[in-house]
Amino acid sequence: MKKRFFSMLFILALCFAVTVSAFAEAVQYIGIGTREITLTGSGASFSCEGVRAEGSVITIFEPGEYTVSGTLDDGQIIVDTGYSIEKTSITLSGASVTCLNDAAIYVRQAEKVKIYMAEGTENTVTSGKEEMLAAFSKDNTGAAIYAEDDLDIKGPGVLLVNGYINNGIMCKDDLDLDGGTLIVFAANNGIRGSESIEIHDGNLTVECGNDALKTTSTKVGKGFIEIDSGKNLLQAGGNGISAQTDVTVLGGETVIESQKTPVKLGGNLSVSGGSLIGNGVAF
């Protein structure tokens, strides 16, 4: 009986050890705890896993939580976590990222990426140089922030986006803006979320040469723009809001100053809360 009892204790202890070991490996893999990346002008310094640097190109290749601070004069932050189902969060904490010929932040592949502006900080993401605005050509491609997959941009800090090459923010999937102060200057479209754009809170200012907010997807249930709160000023050389399907305003204050149509859409416009004013006319 005693021998059986001690055998059971041994098996339980072994199972516990295996469980703890597996948990420790899982924690290490998903990156519980924030990983620090400090930009150093021409590169970056870091002591965490999940990051590699090749000159001025910094690649995040494991999902997890990362904090980025410092300045990158001419380089790129790439997020490529492959087919992992874990999400990646990048907190900008006094960060300035410039890429002279491409996207400064490029989400190549990831389940979902959240860019978070830390409270009390001012952050800047720039593609190209301001002089390029005068020579803008639609043959130029890219954006200051370019995402192949879902992207969330959240506050409460400040983020200035300069898309001197083409667009300010370009997301080929669903784009969610929530909180903070977001200021976008762009040669072409200010903010383009191919499948959808949702604005939930914060202060948004867009000044651009073409459409301020734009969606393009024709998929069922996609191509919409929804605004439910926040203060939004859209100054556009093209259309203020250009949606492939519906535009829904549930709240907030949105003011459009556009050279073309304030609201262009392929579906229905619904204003059930807040206010939407386009070129001095309330909708």
Q: What is the pLDDT of residue 32?
A: 53
- What pLDDT digit, counting tens, does each position of 136-187 carry? 877 777 899 999 999 999 999 999 999 999 999 999 999 999 999 999 999 9
Task: Quickly count: other Cβ atoms within 10 Å of residue 25's Cβ.
Answer: 10
**94 and 165 share a domain?**
yes
Judged against a pLDDT cut of 70, whether residue 5 lies above it is answered with no
Report the percentage of the chain scoring pLDDT > 90.
84
**3-class SS of residue 195:** coil
Position 26: which residue type? A
Better pLDDT: 68 or 27: 68
Q: What are the b/e assignments for 166-192, b being 16+ CB within 10 Å?
A: bbbbbbbbbbbbbbbbbbbbbbbbbbb
Rounded to 10 degrees, what is the CA torsion of 8, 10, 16, 22?
A: -120
**189 and 78 share a domain?**
yes
**220 and 157 share a domain?**
yes
Better pLDDT: 26 or 226: 226
List phi, psi (to 5°) of 108: -80, -45
Give the span between the Cα atoms of 88 and 180, in whole angstroms: 19
**247 and 260 share a domain?**
yes
Give the span between the Cα atoms of 247 and 227, in whole angstroms: 8
Q: What is the pLDDT of residue 139?
A: 72
**142 and 269 share a domain?**
yes
- What pLDDT digit, counting tens, does each position of 70-121 carry? 999 999 999 999 999 999 999 999 999 999 999 999 999 999 999 999 999 9
Q: Which pair of structure tokens corresponds to residue 9?
A: 């204790």
Q: What is the pLDDT of residue 267?
A: 97
Q: What is the pLDDT of residue 24?
A: 37
**124 and 68 share a domain?**
yes
Q: Which of 275, 252, 279 is nearest to 263 (CA)?
A: 279
Mean pLDDT in residue range 251-264: 98
- What pLDDT digit, counting tens, does each position of 197-242 carry? 999 999 999 999 999 999 999 999 999 999 999 999 999 999 999 9
Domain that holds residue 5: 1-30
What 8-state DSSP symbol labels residue 12?
H
Q: What is the pLDDT of residue 133?
A: 84
Q: Assign residue 172 a region (left: φ > 0; alpha: ψ between -120 and 50; beta: otherwise).
A: alpha
Query: Whole-prediction pTM value?
Result: 0.88
**265 and 135 share a domain?**
yes
Mean pLDDT in residue range 257-275: 97
Mean pLDDT in residue range 52-67: 97
**71 and 22 share a domain?**
no
**167 and 112 share a domain?**
yes
**101 and 203 share a domain?**
yes
Q: Which pair of structure tokens corresponds to residue 219?
A: 């998929």
Q: Which of 105, 142, 144 is nearest to 126 (CA)?
A: 144
Judged against a pLDDT cut of 80, whether residue 60 lies above it is answered with yes
Q: What is the pLDDT of residue 19?
A: 36
Instruction: Yes or no: say if 181 and 210 are a contact pair by the CB < 8 Å rule.
Output: no
Report how many domains make up the chain.
2
Q: What is the pLDDT of residue 137?
A: 76
**76 and 201 share a domain?**
yes
Give the span between the Cα atoms of 244 and 196, in whole angstroms: 9
Residues pairing with 276 in the sheet: 254
**247 and 125 share a domain?**
yes
